[in-house]
Chain A
Amino acid sequence: MQLVRPSSVEEAVAALRGGAVALGGGTDLVPLLRDRIVEAETLVELHAAVPRGVRRCTPTSTSPSPSSARFWIGAGTPLAVLEAEPEIPTTLREACRLAASPQLRAMGTIGGNLLQATRCWYWRLKFPCWLHGGETCDAKEGQHREHAIFGNERCASAHPSDPAAALLALGARIRTDRRDLPLAELYRLPTDDDRSMTTLEPGELILELELPAAESSIYVKAMDRQRWAFALVGVAAARVGGETRIALAGVAPVPWLVSSPEELEQATPLPGTAYKLEIARALVQRALAQL
């Protein structure tokens, strides 16, 4: 395996042509390579190529939000920086603080976090399940206590990213080396024909994020222990420009937006995930009450 270390976006994009794989902090990618779930001949280290840091900025022309104050975040920024950033909306800061462990947050970048793979144990143990291109979802027929209550018709995995839910609630946008899009459009529910969970093209790089300042925002997270656990249910809520949005982590194969608390009643829990719906109801109610 070869490691290349480009020092500009252009070099990185060029290096990624032909099937090379982008390496952020490596906290998710390295274990996947070791388990040969991801195969790569060339790794492209993004450290010196992709921007990092947080800035206040003025809205870009494509920004639909009426709110004036906005933040620019480099995709290479480690979660550890964001959790300590007093200016950014609380929901994002809290989502970062409650994610993973200090060591992982020091290494893991926000860009990599948005693109981390599912934690579904069947998938990680290489069961030939639907998401790996097979016929059935092993989790649905088997052990699925950590799995989805929404969007679980084909694959019942639960999206692991806390920051993604926070950014979704904020209506964040991302800029890649080829386009600018709302974060919501980065994710897609996989289908029989196309089982990928993001709309990112091969070799496409996330370079930066842009998000509004929120009038008020919050992130609450239910875990199996106090720290260092993926969300059973994570709830992000934000009021931006007078509009309130709620997004959930750990409840669907992708970060999940709900337009109102009532929409939770449209969930399709599995026998082993019904308890997650109860938690989601309680946390959404609390998040809104505290907003």
Chain B
Amino acid sequence: MARLIRTEKEVEGRYEEVWTVVEEDALDQWPAGPLEVVGQPAQRQDGLQRARGEARYTADVRLPGMLHAAVLRSGVARADARAIDVLPALELPGVQAALSCEEVDFLDAEAGYPGAAVAAVAADTIEQARAGVEAIAVEWDESEPLLDPDEAIARGQLVSESSSYERGDLEAALAGADVVVEAEYRTQSVLHNSMETHQAVCHWEGDTLVVHISTQYIWGVRDELAEKLGLRPDDVRVVCEFMGGGFGAKNGAGDYSLIAAELSRRTGRPVRCALTRREENLAAGNRNATIQRLRAGARSDGTIVGLGGEFVNAVGWSGWLAGTDGPMQMLYGVDNVATMLRGAKLNSAPMAAFRAPGFVEGTFGLECLLDELGGKLGIDPLELRRRNHADADVLDGRPYSSKSLLECYRRAEPHWDRRHEVRARSDETWKHGVGLASQVWYGGGGPPSYAWVRVGSDGSMTVVTAMQDIGTGSRTAMAQIAAEELGVSLAQVRVELGDSARGPFASISAGSSTIPSMGPAVRSAAGDARRQILELAAQRWQKEQRTLSLKGGRIVCSDGGSWPLESLLGLLEDAQILGMGARGPNPTGMRVLTFGVQVAEVAVDVGTGEIRVGRIAAIHDVGRIINPLGARSQVEGGIIQALGHTLSEHRLLDPRTGTVLTQTLDAYKLPTIADVPEIVCEFVDEPDSHLTNLGAKGLGEPPIIPTAAAIANAIRDATGADVRSLPIDREEMLRALAALARAKERSGDRVAARPA
């Protein structure tokens, strides 16, 4: 039965109280461990299609008569478009329409950052559209950009209200601590650089706006466009069948879809608006830089008594406050914690969610600080983390729905034990070391989400839901869940997704929520179909329904009889079995979180500052694993993305104009395959017994969270140097080594100066 409840909804670490309709989750969880299909490694169902170039991405959509849009963007960090004249553009060959911030409100005359969109042109070819954009005359009112986050805070230029948190009495705790450490950590701004840039193709079919878009949230785009364009939500159809990555930057509709929709409305032709790689790196979101001023105090037995953090997020022109303070509040069982998080409003591009926003940054600071503390206490880093394990949620004492972090630590031991052997490889030039870091994140998903399962007389089983597969392989995972429930092979199940007109509502693919939100809905729909099949089977073979089950493509009776599924389904002819399913509620009064630990092995060339990461062992606890192969590739992808964040990626701005200097991929340095270390990946794979009919949590984000700190801690282990600023490029590494040498010299001097 459907119920209306008031519940907490969480996306990317942001909680909201909402009314929501939920349906009971009637199915019991499967037993733990690998099953027939679920828990078995499965290749992607669309792998060949993708590899052969047959998969149709938004970037491949070419509609008859389609126009191309180009966008006029502000070239300077802070300027108001005082006057703007699009007429010269309209006179050029091929140009069909132009619009500017003077006529539509999704373009802004107050261009607060370089790359802000102020006008757009649609033309027969992209070259003509670009020529049109160049012809637009703009009078800019330029003013001095503000780019320094600390200065923005001092001037009170904030993007939103600051967020402060306190439990216990931090100052008293630090005053009473045996050891206190204090350090400033910094993280840089990095760019998502999805393979497929942000883009949309829009056209009108009568009053219906059809939007092909590279998105993480089909239904969010539908609602956002409907609202901004004054349409009924059902008059917007959103399609995204294949997608080339989003990493959080494609949660919203973006201005490009509005530009395409409006230009299409004006011209009566389909319009494509696709960002170039350079535009992508200017104006499509970024992980904001942070400054973290942190303190920690502990008793000599290793009990951490207090944690304090002053965090500044360099948010940019707009955006929200990602939870840089979250790990400090949530990861350890510490009684006295005080954090303050401020968001600096700057003349740089707006931030966007980027794979575990805030937690990646905050974990770097916190987990490095913990090792600094451990160093002073003389306590082994793994032991220190064990001693401060939180047994119940530290925010409000709720029980965890499940938590196997201690099991992760146990499994980390053999990797951690390698440190003696690894350190022994050091010579004059290369210093080797091992470091670790833990991780906490959300990833429980939530209602509502729906799926249907259609079973035809030919024995085909089709899952229908208007979700998106953002490249993570969720299509295959959904097929596995349905196949398991229906007792058929994976090959027998197809998944139809990616079209709001062809399936029920599905959740956003963000916040590691696709598997935990959609998976239970798919299982519930498959369960409904199974029940109906067994109802018919009971009638066909005159058995009691409770004695029947589906297994290995057969209807199996507890009395020993069994019949091929086709022998029943064949009777259906044009009739179909339609199963419906919904995501049940999250467990009330419990905290649903994901945990993990990573152990990194590095080598540092102390002469040139080169860092090589040799091996990363990742042990994560995300409940039941649906597809071990897909899960592994999430971990590998997360770690490789983290590697770039840790060592080489850096969105550099010109300090005077705010121009992004790293717009192209030769200047913005993503890791290459030659940089990728050996990645060892393990899962605890215990279903969360309180969470849905699957017990599965999300894995999209956890693996990117602890990597930077694990690497930085390994660098400290190898060299003794404190690297506190990302990226740890050669300059930062050599700076840290020089600081260490100076400190040693000073302490050497002091020792030498002591009276004999």
Contact = CB atoms under 8 A, between A and B. Distances in A.
Nearest to A278: B734
Interface string B650-682: 001111100101111011010110110000000
B654 A225 contact: no
Given A225-B671, A227-B674, A125 B731 contact: no
B659 A125 contact: yes
Interface stretch (A185-193, A207-215, A279-287): A279-287
Interface in A248-274: 272
B124 interface: no
A222 interface: yes
Contact of A275 (B662, B672, B731): B731
B729 A282 contact: no
Nearest to A285: B607
A122 B610 CA distance: 26
A49 interface: no
B656 A279 contact: no
Contacts of B648: 224-225
B730 A279 contact: yes
A145 interface: yes
B672 A225 contact: yes
B608 interface: yes
Given A224-B729, A227-B674, A275 B669 contact: no
A230 B653 CA distance: 20
Given A122-B654, A224-B730, A279-B608, A229 B669 contact: yes
A225 B667 CA distance: 12
Interface in B219-272: none
Nearest to B729: A224
Given A119-B666, A121-B662, A138-B654, A222 B674 contact: no
A170 interface: no
A286 B607 contact: yes
Contacts of A201: none
B56 to A, nearest CB: 26
Nearest to B731: A275
B610 A222 contact: yes
Nearest to A100: B666
Contact of B663 (A125, A142, A230): A125
B661 A275 contact: no
Given A138-B654, A222-B610, A228-B672, A125 B661 contact: yes
B609 A275 contact: yes
B293 interface: no
A143 interface: yes
A222 B734 CA distance: 13
Given A229-B669, A275-B734, A222 B655 contact: no
B690 interface: no
Contacts of A194: none
A232 interface: yes
A90 to B, nearest CB: 20
B655 A142 contact: yes
A274 B610 CA distance: 16
Contact of B656 (A121, A142, A228, A285): A142
Contact of A225 (B647, B655, B731): B647
A279 B672 CA distance: 22
Nearest to B737: A278
B669 A222 contact: no
Contacts of A228: 672, 674
Interface string A85-128: 00000000000000000000000000000000001011011010
A141 interface: yes
A285 B730 CA distance: 18
Contacts of A124: 664
B653 A143 contact: yes
Given A125-B661, A141-B656, A224 B674 contact: no
Contacts of A145: 652, 729, 731
A164 to B, nearest CB: 18
A145 B727 CA distance: 13
Contacts of B653: 143
B73 interface: no
B735 interface: yes
B607 A275 contact: no
A225 B608 contact: no
Contacts of A225: 647-648, 669, 671-672, 674-675
A122 B661 contact: yes
Top-3 shortest CB links A-B: A282-B607, A226-B674, A121-B661
28 contacts: A121-B652, A121-B662, A122-B661, A125-B659, A125-B663, A127-B659, A143-B652, A143-B654, A143-B655, A143-B661, A145-B729, A145-B731, A224-B669, A224-B729, A225-B672, A226-B612, A226-B674, A227-B675, A228-B674, A229-B669, A230-B666, A272-B731, A275-B735, A278-B608, A278-B734, A279-B608, A282-B607, A283-B607
Given A127-B659, A227-B674, 6 more contacts: A121-B661, A222-B730, A225-B674, A232-B730, A279-B607, A283-B607
